[in-house]
Amino acid sequence: MAEIRLEGIAKSFGADVALDDVTMTVGDGAFVVLLGPTGAGKTTTLRVVSGLETADRGQVRIGGRDMAGLTPAQRDVAMVFQQYSLYPHLSVRQNLEFPLRSPILKTPQDEIDRKVGAVAEVLQISHKLDNKATALSGGEMQRVSIGRALVRDPSVYLMDEPLSSLDAKLRADLRIELKSIQADRGATLLYVTHDQIEAMTMATHIGVLDQGRLVQFGVPRAIYEDPVSVYAASRLGQPRINVLPADVFGGAPAAARSIGLRPEQIVQGEGEDSFVQRVEHLGDQTRLHLTFKSHEIVTVTDAHTTLRSGDVVKIRPQNPFYFDATGARVA
C-alpha cells in the first residue's frame, strides 16, 4: 500500500469553494475518516485523490509519486461510491470478477475464484453470486460494489459513505469486517462518512472538514477530548455536546463566550438545580433531557435510574471546554 499526501489542495465549482488549502497526510496503512456535514468537501477530496476531479491548485502524491496528469486507472486506486454502480447485465460473480479481468492485472482464473469467494463470504453474498445484479436489494447491490473494490490490491482504497444504504445490523457487521480487512492487508484507506460511530470505531485518524477547510486532524480520542473549536467538538459525541452561554455557571475565562459540556463533563448530585424534562431509556444507559436556567442540556445517567419528568437534579461542570466568539477553543 502507499501513503497519500495532499499539499495545498484548492478546488472551486464556479463561485462555490469546495476545498480551500487542504494539506493532509494519510500514512501508509492508515484508516483515515473525513467528517463533516454535506458541503464540507469530503467527497470532493476523494474525487481529487482518485483523479475524477482536477484540483485548481496544489499537489496530490500517492506513494511519493506526483499524480498530476494521471488518469484514475493510472493512479491505481479502488473507489466505492455512495450510490452503487454495477453492470446490470452481469451476474454478481461477474461484477466481482470484472476488476480482476483487467488486461493490466492479468489475474489467473484460480486466483480470481479464490478472491471472489473470499470477499463474497465476508460480505454475506455467497448465495447471490449467480444472481443478476438487477435481482438484488439496494443493500445487496452496495455490498457487491464494496466487494468489487476489495477483490483488488490497489495502492489505496477510497470509500464514499459505503455503508449508508445498509440496515443497522449489517452496517455494524461490516464496520468490523472492513476494519479487519484493512488491518490484515495493511491497506491505506481514505473513508468518507457522516456517521460518527463509524469514525470512532474504524479510524486511526479523523480529518474534520468545514466548508472546504481541514480544521482538525488527529486520532479519534484526541479530537473528542481536545477539540480545537465548537465545530470540531460537535462532530463527535452522542449525545451531542451541549453548548451554553459561558457565564451560565460562572468562572469562565474572560475571552469565553460559550461553554461546551459533554455528558462526562456534567457532575450530577452537586451544584445548582436543573429540572428533568424527559427521560429516554436506551438499555445500556439513560439519556436525561434537562432544563437549566432556561437552557436545554442533554446528558446520560445510570441505566436503572428512577428519575422522572419534573424531578430536580443538581449539576455542575467538570473540566468543560470554553470557546470564544468565533467558536475557537479558549485555553
Closest CA to 236 of 277, 182, 199: 199
Considering only 75-84, 85-94, 228-237, which range has the smallest mean pLDDT?
A: 75-84
CATH fold of 238-330 reads: OB fold (Dihydrolipoamide Acetyltransferase, E2P) (2.40.50)
State mean pLDDT over 20-37: 95
**CA 166, 168, 170, 173 torsion-angle sign:** positive
- Could you read off the pLDDT of 298-314 as tens digits, one per residue? 999 988 899 999 999 99
Residue of 299, 304, 305 whose CA lies nearest to 274 = 299
Check whether 105 has a pLDDT greater than 80: no
Which residues does residue 261 pair with via DSSP β-bridges, in sequence order? 242
Mean pLDDT check: name the lowest of 16-30, 162-176, 277-291: 162-176
pLDDT at 235 (0 to 100): 94
Cell output for 330: 479558549
pLDDT at 189: 95
Q: Summarize the confidence of residues 38-67 as an average pLDDT.
A: 95
| pLDDT beyond 80 at 161 | yes
Query: Among 46-55, 67-76, 83-92, 252-261, which is the least confidently predicted range?
Result: 83-92
Residues paired with residue 292 on neighbouring β-strands, in sequence order: 295
Mean pLDDT of the 234-252 span: 94
CB atoms within 10 A of CB 44: 23
| Averaged pLDDT score across all residues of the chain | 92
Arithmetic mean of pLDDT, 32-44: 94
CA distance 59 to 23: 9
Cα–Cα distance for residue pair 96/152, rounded to 1 Å: 10
Q: Are the C-beta atoms of 35 and 199 separated by less than 8 Å?
A: yes
- DSSP annotation of 115 reads H
Domain boundaries defined on the chain: 4-227, 238-330
Indicate whether this model's pTM tops 0.75.
Answer: yes
> What pairs with residue 205 in β-bridges?
32
Handedness of CA 306, 311, 316, 320 (dihedral sign): positive
Kindly state the average pLDDT of the residues 134-160: 87
pLDDT category at 297 given cuts 50, 70, 90 is very high
Q: Check residue 250 and give its pLDDT.
A: 87
Q: What is the pLDDT of residue 6?
A: 98
Give the three-state DSSP class for 323: strand
Condensed to tens digits (0 to 9), the pLDDT of residues 180-228 reads 888 888 889 999 998 888 999 999 999 999 999 999 999 999 999 999 9
Domain 4-227 class, CATH top level: alpha beta
Confidence of residue 233 (pLDDT cuts 50, 70, 90): very high
Matching residue, cell 451531542:
240
